[in-house]
Amino acid sequence: MNEQNEHPAFDWLSDLGPILAAQAAWHDGSYDQPLWFHLIYRPLGPFALSGGANLLADLARRFRFTPTLIQRLGALTDERRRPVFTESFLNYLQRLRIRTDVWAAPEGMLLLPDEPVAIVRGPKAHVLLLTSPMLRLLWASSHWASQAAYPRWQCGACSEEDTPPAPAVGHHPNGWAARAAYVGGAALADIPSLIQSEPPSPAADEGFLPAQVTFPVKGYPRPLVQIRRTYRGSHPQGDIWLVRLHEEVASVSKTSACVLDVRTRRHRTLKFTRFQNIYQPVLLRGYPILADAKLPYLRQRTLKQLQAFPPEKLKEYPHGWFYDRITPT
């Protein structure tokens, strides 16, 4: 990814897997192939809270493959003392500027189990180089925020007034975890015990996955590119999943829409007075455009989300693919 003033407390080159995958794409000629990826977090509970979008934008503002980093990669050797990275690939990295688009749910947004935390589009090598930041900043943050939110949500203690000053957090995994737990509504005294263990690794059906494998619903073109959360006043009415074909067909001027509810496999008409596009741009062609937000504001927004989705409502909450006659079911 692009690094200028690398976080001193965390080594983004500690995981060479994504860079090796990008090198393989460089040498087999697929490096410039356009791809769509989804970042999937499958919660143990009935929902997930999104997290980490602001962290990703902040990293993108500062990361470059500097000559120092290129030299460090060039000095790496395998067990037979051969260079791990080829000269042609290192030259490619030195010239590279990430040109990837990332859309993510705002931090603290309540997501249903099949809804991505983020959607990514870009050249294959560029997307692969985002793997570690997407997992460490967004996937892990979603895990910690969700774990912090469940006890509050289950007992209905979701008052926005419960917003103490944000703790000081560093630019390292423990700091990111503490930040996410605070945004998720954890009491300050509970944060150290909540984040004392490592987050679990993504399962085979979650993590940073090609978009064509994340929504295997027969008859629907992929990938999912947007979700519209509909409202009557301040009350959520249902989520409409959209593919590229439907972004224009699902007119923004309409106040009703039919969806194929993934819970019941039946069609259902949603009536609403307004809607919110869940996925907001974080990076456009690699440039960060998401404005920074104060942690107390993100926490208050999270608690307001939890208030809007009490257990009895969430259990029956409709969500699924936008349906019209031009799309088979």
Kindly state the tokens that stand for 222.
């992929």
Structural domain boundaries in the chain: 17-322
pLDDT tens digits for range 35-78: 999 999 999 889 999 999 999 999 988 888 889 999 999 999 99
Q: Is the pLDDT of residue 292 over 70?
A: yes
pLDDT at 220: 54
pLDDT tens digits for range 160-176: 888 989 988 888 889 99
* CATH number of the structural domain 17-322: 3.20.140.10
